[in-house]
C-alpha cells in the first residue's frame, strides 16, 4: 500500500474530519504503511495530505480550523459530516 492509499484508508476508518497527526496515528495503529527509517514520518503524512490539495485530488478535502490548523476528510463523507463542521463553525 502506498502512503496515499494508507491516508485514504485511514480517513475512511476515522469517518470524520481529522488532523494530520490523527491520520498518522491511525496509519501506525493499523499498520497500513511502513515508514521505514524515515526521521519525520508524521511530516510525510502532513505533506501528502497537502499534496491532495495542491494536485486537485477531489477524494480528500480540508477544513481550515484556524491560521495553522487544518482537518481533512473524504469527499464521499461530506453529507454525513454536517454543514456546521464543514463551514468551520465548530
Q: Provide DSSP, 1-58.
A: --HHHHHHHHHHHH-S-B-HHHHHHHHHHHT----TT-S-HHHHHHHHHHHHHHTT-T
Instruction: Specify the pTM.
Output: 0.88
CATH number of 3-86: 1.10.10.10
In the predicted structure, residue 88 carries a pLDDT above the cut 70: no
pLDDT at 50: 95
Q: At what angle do helices 41-54 and 20-30 cross, to 10 degrees?
A: 120
- Give the pLDDT confidence score for residue 90 in this predicted structure: 45
Report the pLDDT value the prediction gives residue 89, as an integer from 0 to 100: 52
Mean pLDDT, residues 54-71? 92
d(CA 60, CA 57): 7
Could you read off the pLDDT of 17-49 as tens digits, one per residue? 999 999 999 999 999 999 999 899 999 999 999
Amino acid at each position: 500500500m502506498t502512503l496515499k492509499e494508507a491516508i485514504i484508508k485511514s480517513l475512511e476508518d476515522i469517518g470524520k474530519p481529522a488532523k494530520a497527526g490523527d491520520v498518522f496515528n491511525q496509519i501506525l495503529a493499523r499498520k497500513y504503511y511502513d515508514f521505514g527509517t524515515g526521521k519525520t514520518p508524521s511530516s510525510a503524512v502532513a505533506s501528502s495530505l497537502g499534496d491532495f490539495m495542491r494536485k486537485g485530488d477531489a477524494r480528500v478535502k480540508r477544513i481550515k480550523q484556524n491560521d495553522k490548523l487544518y482537518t481533512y476528510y473524504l469527499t464521499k463523507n461530506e453529507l454525513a459530516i454536517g454543514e456546521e463542521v464543514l463551514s468551520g463553525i465548530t
